[in-house]
A = this chain, B = another copy of it.
């Protein structure tokens, strides 16, 4: 969305207010990925953005404000991604489900830098209600849609023995866990392998709808 504005306006003193904010948010993401959230300071962010110290408090009232807006930005981007993926995908329930699962492993979303950000904030949800609220919003919509599609498939395929709630939880948990693998041990896990792992799960559960090595 506003990435277009941000990219063209790196020249100083020219960028619009919104573009600067985006630039600082991107710098925050880079800093969190590079140094971790604990060692991300206003100075490291400003340095990543090639801007001066005072800039953060100029555009966001405080460091905390910047951190919250950064999470909001990544969360919004994620929501946009899966909503767009559903709109683009074929109409069948199986196609919709596959599209939804695949979003988690597409390059735009499944970027090690952004994954580092997700885990940084997740790890502090217990102490920061604001983080939790923003993260919960992310999951609410996604999980609801995932649950819908799983239920539809179960009905369609007369998979009587399957429990929709378990499958929904299991599937979204598997995605998150594979993200963790990508973050902690990127040599042992790749986006493609992660995607295949989820697909394997779908093939096992819904053999009438998903078959190995298709797509």
Query: Chain B contacts of A196 at CB under 8 A?
Result: 166
**Interface residues of A, CB < 8 Å — how many?**
51
Interface residues of A in 167-209 (CB under 8 A from B): 167, 169-170, 172-178, 180-181, 183-185, 189, 193-194, 196-198, 200-201, 204-205
Is A123 in contact with chain B by the CB < 8 A criterion?
yes
CB distance from A113 to the nearest CB of B (A): 9
B36 touching A183 by the CB < 8 A rule?
no
Of the residues B173, B201, B212, contact of A161 by C-beta under 8 Å: B212
Q: Contacts A166-B197, A178-B169, A189-B169: A184 and B37 contacting too (C-beta < 8 A)? A: no
Can you pick out 24 interface pairs between chain A and chain B where the beta carbons lie within 8 Å of each other? Answer: A34-B126, A36-B123, A37-B123, A38-B38, A39-B127, A119-B123, A122-B184, A123-B183, A136-B184, A136-B185, A166-B196, A169-B178, A169-B181, A169-B189, A169-B193, A172-B177, A173-B173, A173-B174, A173-B176, A173-B197, A174-B174, A176-B180, A176-B181, A180-B180
